[in-house]
Chains A and B, each alone.
Chain A
Amino acid sequence: DAGVIQSPRHEVTEMGQEVTLRCKPISGHDYLFWYRQTMMRGLELLIYFNNNVPIDDSGMPEDRFSAKMPNASFSTLKIQPSEPRDSAVYFCASSLIYGGPVWTGGYEQYFGPGTRLTVT
């Protein structure tokens, strides 16, 4: 498997513009997580999905942020409008927690390479 794929790898945009980050999880994984990493705040969980359904979005900083998972192989994180304080590295991660009717017991998360977002 190619692992978790994120695009773009780098994004530079001006304040006020819309930004869309994309993620393709590992095939067959049932959980998908979006994180943001900054020097000041560390690694923060923004939202996570189970079988394409958002479960916990309490980490989403404000209404400017939205995330979707239209199918099991694709998710987006959108920021509209973007602000300089949104500059960070955004990671997507996927995990296989429930492999079906049998508990797999695994919580290991597989991270993508991240998208470095710079908002000027």
Chain B
Amino acid sequence: SQQGEEDPQALSIQEGENATMNCSYKTSINNLQWYRQNSGRGLVHLILIRSNEREKHSGRLRVTLDTSKKSSSLLITASRAADTASYFCATSQTGGFKTIFGAGTRLFVKA
């Protein structure tokens, strides 16, 4: 089964609102990453958080990691229509470079 599972599967919000997506995983990890995929395109790396970090920021993105609960969240603040995309969490297990992607959250930001 997949290592990372996102929640919710789909999210629809108004422009300017914040969007929060969650990811849960099952085994010990080296790091957790978030990627964005626009329709018909390849995935684009957004942010990486290491297993010894708890929070990380990049522009309007904020990622948290709780290794005790094996979960992470991605917050996009002040969303824009251009943020409409699918968002995936990906984990690299301890001791390896094999990256496992979750099923993704489809975000729709209405203008």
Contacts and interface: CB of A to CB of B under 8 A. Distances in A.
Interface of A: 4, 31, 33, 35, 42-43, 45, 48, 50, 55-56, 91, 93, 95, 97, 105-114
Contacts of B41: 113-114
Interface stretch (B19-27, B54-62, B64-72, B101-109): B101-109
Contacts of B43: 43, 91, 93, 109, 111
Tell me the dominant secondary structure on chain B's binding face.
strand
A31 B99 CA distance: 12
Nearest to A56: B98
A6 to B, nearest CB: 8
A75 to B, nearest CB: 15
A84 B104 CA distance: 25
Contact of B30 (A33, A93, A107): A107
